């Protein structure tokens, strides 16, 4: 399935990892992994940082579709923080 043209969607925000109004983003958001497995390394890193920013200070441009993915990434960050990994910093293995 192909993404709709994101730039033409109402309320389009380039920083979002999934965009409201896009059929493919909607499909991915509903997957058990909330679309996280479909992200490339750059998108995953940006989503990781975005999840931290959203939960630490709030963001005014979070889409409805990306909220489940950002929440899942935040939960993992909280667990990793207990192991000494700083919030918002992607651990390098």
pLDDT tens, position by position, 10-36? 787 889 999 898 889 999 999 999 999
User: pLDDT value at position 4?
Assistant: 61
Alpha helices in the chain, H assignment, sequence order: 23-29, 41-56, 67-81
Q: Which residue ranges make up each domain of the chain?
A: 7-81
User: pLDDT value at position 49?
Assistant: 96
Residues 6 or more apart whose CB falls under 8 angstroms from that of 28 comprise 18, 34, 35, 38, 65
Distance of CA 57 to the CA centre of its chain: 16
Instruction: Give the span between the Cα atoms of 29 and 16, in whole angstroms.
Output: 12
Low-confidence ranges of the chain (pLDDT < 50): none
């Amino acid at each position: 399935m192909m993404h709709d043209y994101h730039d033409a969607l109402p309320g389009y925000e380039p920083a979002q990892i999934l965009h409201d109004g896009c059929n493919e983003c909607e499909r991915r958001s509903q997957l058990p992994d909330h679309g996280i497995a479909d992200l490339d390394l750059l998108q995953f890193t940006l989503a990781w940082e975005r999840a931290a920013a959203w939960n630490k200070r709030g963001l005014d441009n979070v889409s409805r579709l990306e909220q489940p993915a950002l929440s899942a990434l935040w939960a993992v960050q909280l667990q990793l923080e207990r192991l000494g990994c700083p919030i918002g910093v992607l651990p390098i293995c």
